[in-house]
Amino acid sequence: MVSSSVSSGLARSVAVSLLPIMAAVLTGFLVIGIALPVLPLHVNRDLGFGTVVVGLVAGAQFVAAVVTRIWSGSYADMRGGKRAVMLGLITAAASGLLYLMAWAAEGSPTFSVAILLAGRALLGGAESFIITGGESWGLTTVDARHAGKVIAWVGTAMFAALALGGPIGTTLFASHGFAAIGLATTLLPLIVFLGLLRVPAPHVLSRQARSSLRRVLNAVWLPGIGAALSSVGYGAILAFSSLLYSDHGWQPVWLAFTAFGVALIAARLVCGHLPDKLGGARVALLFVGVQTAGLLLMGLASNGFVASAGAALAGFGYSLVYPGFGVEAVRNSSPETRGLVIGIYTVFLDIAMAVGSPALGWVAEIKGLNAVFIAGAGVTLCAAAVGLPLLRSRRHISQVER
């Protein structure tokens, strides 16, 4: 009974420590969430481009994140996670200005989509600093034994923002067009930036993180590949679910992504402690199967209800795949390099999204939108091949320690 009370108290303490970080990430990611369901519609309907260009516009954010992710991790280690988050917010506001410029240039679709690509690239850098800085901030705030909770709960704030952003963005777009999306993307990060000015900055543990790059890469690459493979399915929902719903006449078009996000949040609130308790590799293996089943259900769906159920199942599965592999990435890292670890780990997700979104767009052109989710399920299932050697490695270490 005492042990249970202590455990409950520790969980509450971790949650309280992470609350301001989660609030900053939540609000910062609203600017990404409000554009997710409407960008494909804007590029396809307003500017007249096909699904390949839709995939390129969606993927541009992740290409930029690949370029900036290691930088953001090193910056968080050397300057502090709070500063990384604040730099990301300023950059996100600048991307909103580019959105407004793209809207003003709609009369020249090619020029407009070029500006939009630049805005998406800038937002990719912003996203990198916000989430990497936020997770680094959390990892330097709580004990290393709670690394799984940090990755899961800070990530939950991100997905809550994306889920809320769907209906908000769709409403803004329907009533005021893409200009409203650009204006919100400009103003929201500035409001959060001002709110963070009075929040205490975390202690900077080291300014020598870059010297550990090779060692960090050796520790991170295998769980990173697992995260990348599972994230292709996430990218399918992010970039193509609204088009799938629109193509079949299912309403509202944002329901799949919101169902994905709500299920993910619920799973992390209830099961977010499992990677710390049972081991990241074991939990990732189990939830990869759930995510794969959800994506297959979406690909085979004949109505919006079934597709939304599949999206929810995929969200429930993905909820602990990413933090499960993340625990494996950070468990052997030193406190002063955890920002770099998170940065490099997330690069694998970015690469998957940057390559996967255009590739899935090509699948849509050849086989149709339903095939996107079936292909995403196949790639996601391959993550199980990564989880198995990680699980064996963890068991071997446990036996040696005994």
What b/e sequence results for 132-152 when a residue is b if at least 16 CB atoms lie within 10 Å of its CB, and e otherwise?
bbbbbbbbbbbeeebbbbbbb
Q: Per-residue pLDDT for the chain (402 aa), expressed as one digit of tens each?
A: 444 444 444 455 666 777 778 878 887 788 888 887 788 888 888 888 887 888 788 778 777 877 888 888 888 888 888 899 999 999 999 999 999 999 998 888 889 889 999 999 999 899 889 988 888 888 777 666 667 777 777 877 877 787 788 789 888 998 998 899 999 999 999 988 888 888 777 666 555 544 466 777 777 888 889 889 998 988 898 888 988 998 899 988 878 988 998 898 888 888 877 887 788 788 888 999 999 999 999 999 999 999 999 999 999 999 888 888 888 887 766 666 777 888 888 788 878 877 888 888 899 889 899 999 999 999 999 988 887 777 766 554 444 344
Which residue, 338, 236, 329, 341, is CA-closest to 284?
329
Distances (CA, A) of 294 to 21, 236, 247: 30, 12, 20
Give residue 292's pLDDT: 95
Task: Report pLDDT for 396.
Answer: 42
Residue 36: burial class (beta carbons within 10 Å; 0-12, 13-18, 19+): buried
Residue 198 buriedness (CB in 10 A; 0-12 / 13-18 / 19+): exposed
Cβ neighbours, 10 Å, residue 22: 21
Asked if the 8-198+213-401 domain carries CATH number 1.10.3720.10, the reply is no
Asked if 347 and 210 count as a contact pair (C-beta separation under 8 A), the reply is no
pTM of this structure:
0.72
Buried b (16+ CB within 10 A) or exposed e, 359-397: bbbebbeeeebbebbbbbbbbbbbbbebbeebbeebeee
pLDDT number for residue 12: 56
The per-residue pLDDT for 288 is: 92
> What sign for the dihedral angle of Cα 67, 73, 74, 80?
positive
pLDDT at 21: 82
Give residue 146's pLDDT.
67
Sequence spans of domains, the chain: 8-198+213-401
> What stretch of H or E contains 202?
none
Give pLDDT, residue 92: 93
What's residue 182's pLDDT? 92
Type and span of the H or E element at 337: none
